[in-house]
Structure 1
């Protein structure tokens, strides 16, 4: 996938002063002490990071979907077929209506997970729901945007094809859609779904 610019950064023999650590040195020391004493939650640091950042990944997917929707809407208002803008044809209008409805639903899930994370009551399922729904929604919305643009939607002259690739990666990184479904299923069943 060549949708986003990615580069490797290598740091060798770098010392980071405690005052420059994210969260501060005291927080890191406390976490390490709990881990050494066996009183930590037992989660790997990477897993804890995934759980905390899933709403943010959902928000990224939401932004990609919103960009594709707005581009498709503008295109549909200007592109004419059979003597009128294609947005006036039900097939296109209904597709756009579905796109904005899904975008707004994803936004609400992300806001809910973010609010709970800030105000207490956040559980992993909320983050997984927001990331899962938003990333899958972004794939659907960008695909619909490609359909609305027709052949232009698939060319590199227009940004929609890149947004579609950007959307797809959100269903993979920081936990695939299947992992998100597993987290959600375990939360709603209270059982260790395999």
Structure 2
């Protein structure tokens, strides 16, 4: 196995273990957007699975010691004292709903020209929503929430396709005056406005 990939997997295993230990520690103050989040062990677990898949795709065998360590940590995460309790799973679901609400809000702000989803939420935020949707599938009624995320993704794609949001002084289409400020305005195709 490539030494860089080996070190990456070892590092991810350590982060996964720390996240699981923090999840099981009742003294850690978890919050949806704080230092300790209920989803952290799952975010680390899914990233580690991707690293395993990359190793397999490159033809490298993941060392047995890494697999055993991964299995041990995963069993600990699934235990009732940690992520396997009903209360913990409900906390994950509440966080998921909060993340989708933030995604919707930031997307609306982006459409109004007040920032970008990636810079305001972080580059992995949308992936974290997907991880929680996958992790909680079948445990909670999430079909409507998953459909809303698809609509938000489509709205984000439409916003990116339409180009940057309008700002005062844009000279994008000659001869199309803005009746309010006198500057030029961005012409959008019908149906591309709105996050929902």
The question of a shared fold, defined as TM-score above 0.5 by the shorter chain, is answered with no
- Give the number of the structure whose residues are more often helix, by fraction: 1
TM-score by length of 1: 0.29
What is the TM-score normalised by the length of structure 2?
0.29
Which structure carries more relative contact order (alpha carbon 8 Å, separation 6+)?
Answer: 1
